[in-house]
Amino acid sequence: MQDTGSRRLRVHIVQPPPDDALSALENLLDPAVDLAVGPEPAPTTEILVTGRPTREHLGVCPDLQTLIVPYAGIPEETRKLLLDERPDIAVHNLHHNAAAAAELAVALLLAAAKSIIPADRALRRGDWRTRYDGAPTLILAGKTALLLGLGAIGSRVATACSALGMEVHAVRRRTDRPHASYVVVHPPDALGQLIPCADVLLVCLPLTPETRGLIGVQELDLLRPSAILVNVARGAIVDEAALYHALADGRLAAAGIDVWYRYPRTSEERANTPPSDYPFHELDNVVMSPHRGGAFRTEELEEQRMCDLATSLNAAVRGESIPHLVDLAAGY
């Protein structure tokens, strides 16, 4: 690491990473980064690393310049707090989990398209009938994929869909940003015209005031009955009741869902918390995943998180631009 001289950068991580991950981070950091960990940051903290800072955190750190959210997206309560209390603070996030989330999106798509879960469940009982009775299967080659969002996750999903032989379209707010030649990019106001043409709708958007409830009854009714919806973004982007009834009534062929409407609030609730007010678990045309796309802790994923965090902190201490700046007004 290069030595930045007498300049020091005071960084505080609120939620401690595992010990081995923390050690890896410390080994990657510029020597001029002073790193502290724990629930109470020092008043001299300049960069705070947490997804959910409190009003007390902001009050006790008058020198705070930057917040780094250690995952993709920014919680709505965090966005509102900063806009109300400290709009001067620069906010950045990490995209270390983009590959993991994109891979899970593809896994959910394939499982839903090929009825993998019902067929697996039946064969475990010795029941082979799904091989012979035409269990619902969507051949993806030659079909149309419509991605909502073309960021770090959506771009990877688009690549996979193209590799499967699909025609790929995407809706994004910033249509002038670079994108792969095999993706046709459209502005948000084209969504109503695009949905009826989609065989697969993949939700890869951040949750913002504009995207909350973006896919509701009207949008789901525009989809073909043979279509599949995959959501690896945030549950609230898709209307909960509308999605359940479309799947239960057969107006939507299948769904792969990694993000939900109800989450455990304590460690005790983790073993017994339904993810929705509606019985999605009773539907064979739903593949359910407990928000594992980028949130599950594995040694490899934590290593990637620490590498991304070190890149951001080292850039800051050297006076360089920190990656992944968040537009608080837009919400991502």
The mean pLDDT value of the chain amounts to: 94
At residue 300, the pLDDT reads 85
* Alpha-carbon gap, residue 330 to 208, rounded angstroms: 7
> Where does the pLDDT of residue 297 fall: very low under 50, low under 70, confident under 90, or very high at 90 and above?
low
DSSP 323: S
The domain made up of 9-96+298-317 has a fold known as: Rossmann fold (3.40.50)
The whole-angstrom distance between residue 199's C-alpha and the CA centroid of its chain comes to 22
Name residue 179's amino acid: H
Residue 202 near residue 230 (C-beta atoms within 8 A)? yes
The whole-angstrom distance between residue 133's C-alpha and the CA centroid of its chain comes to 36
Phi and psi at residue 16, to the nearest 5°: -65, 130
pLDDT at 186 over 50: yes
At residue 128, the pLDDT reads 96
Residues of the chain with CATH 3.40.50.720: 9-96+298-317, 98-288
C-beta atoms surrounding 78 within 10 Å: 20
> Where does the pLDDT of residue 2 fall: very low under 50, low under 70, confident under 90, or very high at 90 and above?
very low
- Average pLDDT estimate for 101-116: 97
At residue 332, the pLDDT reads 87
At residue 301, the pLDDT reads 86
Q: Find the distance separating the first CA and the last CA of the chain, reported in whole Å.
A: 31
pLDDT at 5 over 70: no
* Alpha-carbon gap, residue 207 to 92, rounded angstroms: 16
166-185 pLDDT, tens digit each: 999 999 998 988 899 999 99
The kind and range of the H/E element at 191 are helix 191-194
> Where does the pLDDT of residue 1 fall: very low under 50, low under 70, confident under 90, or very high at 90 and above?
very low
Written out in words, the top-level CATH class of the domain with range 98-288 is: alpha beta
C-beta atoms surrounding 256 within 10 Å: 26
- Average pLDDT estimate for 258-279: 96
> Where does the pLDDT of residue 294 fall: very low under 50, low under 70, confident under 90, or very high at 90 and above?
confident
At residue 6, the pLDDT reads 60
